[in-house]
C-alpha cells in the first residue's frame, strides 16, 4: 500500500493547496486527488516539481506500507 503524505509536507511548509498547484503548474483538482491518495499514477516531472517547491524528497511524500492479510 502506498501512503501519500503530501498534506503533511504542505503543513510543514505552511503552503496551501492553491499555492502549491499554481507553483507546480497542475490543477487544484489533480493535486487534491494526489493529496488524498486517490490517484493511480504520478508523473516523475510532477513529483520532481513538488519536491523542488516543498524542499523535500519523494520519500517524504510517498511511503510504502505492506498490506496485512
CA dist., res. 10 & res. 4, Å (int): 12
Q: Is there a domain that residue 14 lies in?
A: yes
What is the domain extent for residue 53? 2-64
> What one-character DSSP code corresponds to residue 39?
-
Does residue 69 belong to any structural domain of this protein? no
* Tally: H helices and E strands in the chain: 5, 2
- Alpha carbon 66 to its chain centroid, in Å, reads 20
pLDDT of residue 68: 76
Instruction: For residue range 16-55, list pLDDT tens digits in order.
Output: 999 999 999 999 999 999 999 899 899 999 999 999 999 9
Residue 59 covered by a domain: yes
Q: What's the CATH number where 14 sits?
A: 1.10.260.40
Amino acid at each position: 500500500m502506498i501512503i501519500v503524505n503530501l498534506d503533511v509536507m504542505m503543513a510543514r511548509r505552511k503552503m496551501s493547496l492553491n499555492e502549491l498547484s499554481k507553483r507546480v503548474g497542475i490543477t487544484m483538482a489533480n493535486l487534491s486527488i494526489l493529496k488524498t491518495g486517490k490517484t493511480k499514477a504520478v508523473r516523475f516531472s510532477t513529483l520532481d516539481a513538488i519536491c523542488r517547491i516543498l524542499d523535500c524528497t519523494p520519500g517524504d511524500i510517498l511511503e510504502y506500507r505492506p498490506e496485512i492479510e
